[in-house]
Structures are given as C-alpha cells and as structure tokens.
Structure 1
C-alpha cells in the first residue's frame, strides 16, 4: 500500500486538473514515512484520491505526479506504456523516425513523464534525468527504451544544478550498449550535422529549433546573414545552403565553433565565416564599425533559472536587441529566440516594442513560432512551452 500525501484544504484543484508538480507549501502532512523516490498517493484534504506520484522530501517539488488512475501502479509496464505513447506521436503522427534521424523521444512533463528527457540521434539515445524518483528507476527506463527503440547505446547526460535541487548525484556516463562514435551525425532538413553526445551542450544538439532553422533559411537567399550564439551552426548553415550572400557565425565556445566548421565542410558550404568572441561585446563592435546585415538571428542560452533572475535576464535580452537593431539594414529581418521558460512570449514582445521605440524604428512581427512539434506543450502544464521565436521585419 502506497504512503499518502495529504493536501491542505482548498489546494487540490490544480492536481485534479492534472498539473504534475506538488510543492511543499500545498501539503498538510505525509502518512507512512515514504523514502525519497517512493511511490505515493496524493489525497485531498477531504480524503479523496487525486493522483499517484513519486515523493522527494529534498526537492521543492515534494511530489511529481504521473497517474490519475487509482489502481494503476507506477511499475515497469506503466513507464513502458508512457514511452510507447510518446513514440506514437514522433513515429505515427510526425513521421520523424527516418534513417539518421534526430528527434526528441520524450519531453518530460509534455509527455507526462516529469523529470525525464530522451533524445534520439540515429542509433543512439541520450537520457537526461531531472528528478530523483525517475533517476532511481533508470534501469526500468533503459529496459523500456531498449525494447521500444533497439538502440546501439544509451548515454546519460546531466544538467547543472539538478543534484542540489533534487538531492541526487548523477554523472555523464554510458548507461547501456556501445559508446557513441565521435563522428556521429544526423540528417536535418536535408543537411547533415555532427553531434557530440558526450560533451556537447544539452543532450548533444538543439533539436527544438529544427523547424525554425528551416523557416528562417527561406528568408536568407541573397542576404547578409548574422547568426549570434550559433553553437554548431544550425541557423547560419541553413542560411548558407539556402543561398545567403554571406554568413557570419558568432559564439563564445571554441569546441562549438569547431563543430560548426566541420558541419560546414560536411555540407560543402564555403560562404560562412566563424568567429570566437564575447557575443555581446562583438555585436557592439560591429555596430560601432557601421557593419550592416539583412537578417540577424539572436539565439542566446537560457538567461534565468529562477524568478529572481528575470529582471536581469530581461536586461540581457534588451541589450542584445538594442545592438541588433543597430546592425539591421532597412527592411531587415530580426529573429528573436528565447529559451528562458520563465519569460513569456508577451514579455519578449513588450521588450521588443520598448527597444523599437527607443531606436525610433518600426518593427512588425510577421511570425510567432515555438519549438518543433516533437517538443509538445501539455495543456495542463503550460510551463512546458519554454521556447519562443519571433520573426520580425525592421523598417
């Protein structure tokens, strides 16, 4: 019999509404002394079953919810079925499972598996655990993934800060099978990209921008194109292949730029320049020199990991956009990407409006975009909709 977590009075509605995060402040008491990672039943103040989840006293999220059916245990069959449901979206609906494919297999709360991300890169999988309860079931997860996808290897990637937040010690390591080769590559929009599963950022590549890269490339033919925070060259190389007159890719990481150079060579692209710089400083230098571009892509890393950091993050986005408007030629295109989940699309648009007024330039938003569809948003946990992408015309 599962231990019980009893909610405070009038605090059950979000969880009956299938939001998966139960913070400590919503809990009145715990019955049964569950160990961290143990299965528990969430019960309303009136004694009604709400949902079943995994307990962690060390996390601000005391319970992560996975099932709203009272008689369904969180066993191996449960997690296999949840992963199979996630795969049906990617395989049967989105048709992403081609040779050398790269796509997100499972996206945490969006696929009702809070605290776990799984990406596929050809014959290899990367797994990222951000919750103790799921991490403690890694053997169950690996077994299900082997059965469903038959990979050559499964590699664990860790996220900075999770150990402190969740009380779990994790290290990047091979979980099962063969280690990924150093020359592993995937196909994206007809282009081949090398991915570094053991040392690259996130789980090896930014799969979420796949469709945005293709959309922005359609605006690139004949244009002077700037890709700021380019990582392995995604936006810039798509633009170069589409016929951009010139492409400048900027990043502060030499390993990322080396990967970008190799990707350019792999696709036979020569009209691309790569520079290792402090991007903020270099954009200012370019603006001061009078350099102009027809398309500017801003795709910086996450600027805020908690609500207290939001004001400083918005200052960073504001500064980037002030510099971008100075660099854009008339009728230029500005692509504003924001992966900081705590900053909303409305926040991004309001910041852009303020910067446009300060610069005395008219800006028209022509497209609002999000992540590729293998990164869905659960309507009961809209915090899973983290990536924003605005495509704007600057007069």
Structure 2
C-alpha cells in the first residue's frame, strides 16, 4: 500500500473524537469499526483515521492484533512517512537534548512524546540503541535507522528487541546489530560526576537507565559523609551518584551478578575501592532482612525496584509490594535519623497512590518522616500531555526523623 492509496478506518459513533482532536495518541479497538477488511490489515499498516461522519482526522498506524489498534503517526492525514519525515522528528528531538546536555548520552526518542509512537532510542556517544516496540516502527525500521545516522552521526545502531511491549504487538525478540559493530566492552557514561558502565549488548533495556538522572542528582546532595544503601541498584545508579557526592561508604544490592559487576567496575573507574564500595547479591527483601538482622543501619537508603504494578490488574498487589519495600527500607535508616528515597516505574500507580503506600510502610516500620522531594523522569523523557503512561516514573524522598 503506497502513501497515495491508503486504507481508512473509522471511529464508532460512541467514540470520543474530541479526545483525539485534542491530542490523544491512541485509539483502542473497541472505539473503531472493525470488519473483515480492517482485521485483515497487516500489523503496521498506515491508514487514514476518520470520525463517525467519515471526516479525515489523522494518519495512523494500525495493528489489528493489538488492543491499541491505531497509533497517531501524524495529525495530517496526507502526511508522507519517508526518510525526510523521520529526519524532521529526529532533528526536533535532538535539538532539545543538545540544549540540555553537554555530552551525547541521553534518551533521544521517548516514544509518543517525541512523535514516534512505540519507539525508544537511547544514545551512548557514537552508538544508539533502538527499541522499535510497535509494528509500524518495525516495518519502517530501515528508513528510521538511515535517518538516525544522518541526523546524529552515530556509527553504531543496535536493535534491542527484549521487553513486554514487543510481545504485545506480536513482534519477535531478536536483538541484533543494525549498523556498525557490537561494542566489545561496556561503554562508560559519566552522569552527575559518577561513571556508569553500560552494557549495550547484554544489559537490561538499552543498557542504562537515563530516566533517574535528576533524582540521582538530588540524592547526591544528601550523600556527603553518609553510609548509603542502594537496593535494586542495577549498575549502581544511585549508589555511584552517592559516591561521587562524597559518601563514606556505599553498598549496592541487586539480584543480578552481571549488573553488580558493572557497578563495581564503575566504582573502580571512579577511583573507589573496597574501603568505600561493596556489593551484595540476592533477593532484595531477603537481603534487607539480613542487613537488619546483622544490626546494620544507614544514613541514606534508596530503593528503586522494577515495576510492581505494570497494569491496572496488578495495581493492588503492586502497592502492597511498594509498602513492603518502604517498611524494610525505613527500618534500615539509622535510629538517629536519615533519608529514604523510594521510586516506582509503574505507570498504573499514580503518584498519590504510590506516596500513600510508602507512608504506610514507613509508619509500620515505626518511623516518622517528612517529604523533602518529589521527582519524575528527566527532561530527555518528556511527558505526552494526553498519555498518562509517559509519566511512569515517580521518586519520593523522605527525611526519616530520629526513632
């Protein structure tokens, strides 16, 4: 199907066309007229979205196999999605990041918020890792990659196909090199004065989580001369930032041995040895219980777990898990007082629900606290105003009062 002969899909009469006109980026299957023709469309097909009166509204990407059956690609129904179209979107995204950061290490494309639905691109200097998490992006991947190289000048582009989003779109899980060669060693990334080792080949997601940069900077301000515990540390996100902030000692806890090895290599690159940095591998809850049993306490405790509430169906169980984390973390804060940073990357858990779960956990640990900071993802992860899912990250930092 060419750009000049596109199929059309139509909203049901009951669908709220105003929401789409005002910027909503998704159209769910139950809001569309579906017949044999629409169900037969290949995933990723570009089509014209019409309202119930057949007035053209936007250019969309269709995936009949997904609950999100249509994603808004362009508000112009006649837009041509070609190399130049991708280049314009990428250049617009790059202009923001170039203004924000003095080195090319950031999230370059944050999906719908940057006008490329379902696409995530993280940049690591001369390399970029792309997650094409929607069928339309997979279908246009060659064009997207060519535009990416032209706009940014990167020499290596890797495809990361891991993750739940691709499976929901009916896509494969084959990660591979698209341009250049696979890095033969972790890529050092400097943020907030700390050095992180990003494994672009075998690490989680794209190799490093850029979204916590601003929250790590705030925690760093609390870290001078502090004994710090970083739980669910991955490659040492908060712990290494605390070291750069003058922490007297940092302990990183994670279930992944490769992630902890990268954290230790980051500390070594910063000139920090065993006297100031340690790792403990194990289940986070079991390890926090063991630390308490050992009588250990910390001036600053950070807990940045995976998404305990990835969907509305998992929300209540997820909130109980966040409460449990808060309780365990608060019990490890020094009796004379300290700080507790708690994070959630669950879009289904609103800030209010997450914060309340944290407060219940702190209270059940027998501690009282003040909220001193509330954070979200950094500005290289912009929010789409009509898409709550783009505001997934929350960080609430407490000053825990003396017991």
Which category of TM-score, normalised to the shorter sequence, fits these structures?
A: over 0.9
The answer to whether structure 1 residue 179 and structure 2 residue 185 are counterparts is no
The question of 1:286 aligning with 2:291 is answered yes
Residue 381 of structure 2 corresponds to which residue in structure 1?
A: 375
Matched position secondary structure for 1:293: coil
Unaligned segments of structure 1, at least 5 residues = none
Superposed displacement of residue 255, structure 1: 0.4
- Deviation of 1:274 after TM superposition, in Å, equals 0.8
Partner of 2:52: 45
TM-score by length of 2: 0.93
Aligned to 2:145: 142
1:73 corresponds to 2:80: yes
Asked if 1:315 corresponds to 2:323, the answer is: no
2-side partners of 1:170 and 1:40: how far apart?
26
Trace 1:352-367 onto structure 2 (pairs within 5 A). 352-367=358-373
Where 1:273 maps in the other structure, the secondary structure is strand
| Deviation for aligned residue 1:288 | 2.8
Mapped pair 1:2 → 2:6: yes
Offset at 1:339? Answer: 0.8
Does 2:123 match 1:132?
Answer: no
The answer to whether structure 1 residue 217 and structure 2 residue 224 are counterparts is no
Cα displacement string for residues 86-132 of structure 1 (whole angstroms, at most 9, x for unaligned residues): 111111x31x252xx32011000111211100111011000001111
1:58 aligns with 2:65: yes
Aligned-pair Cα RMSD in Å: 1.6
Alignment partners' CA distance in 2, 1:351 and 1:261: 32
2:396 aligned residue (382, 390, 394): 390
SS at match of 2:337: strand
Paired residues of 1:51 and 1:67 also in contact (CA < 8 A): yes
Q: Deviations over 1:53-108 (max 9, x none)?
A: 111111111111111123322233222211111111111x31x252xx32011000
Q: Number of aligned pairs?
A: 391
Residues 1:34 and 2:37 aligned together:
no
Answer yes or no: is the 8 Å Cα contact 1:3–1:34 preserved in 2. Answer: no
- The secondary structure found in structure 1 opposite 2:300 is strand
| CA contact 1:37–1:132 (8 Å) conserved in 2 | yes
Provide the C-alpha distance between the structure 2 equivalents of 1:72 and 1:22, rounded to a whole number of angstroms.
19
Match of 1:272 in 2: 277
TM-score norm. by structure 1 comes to 0.95
Unaligned runs of 5+ in 2: none
- Residues 1:338 and 2:341 are matched in the alignment: no
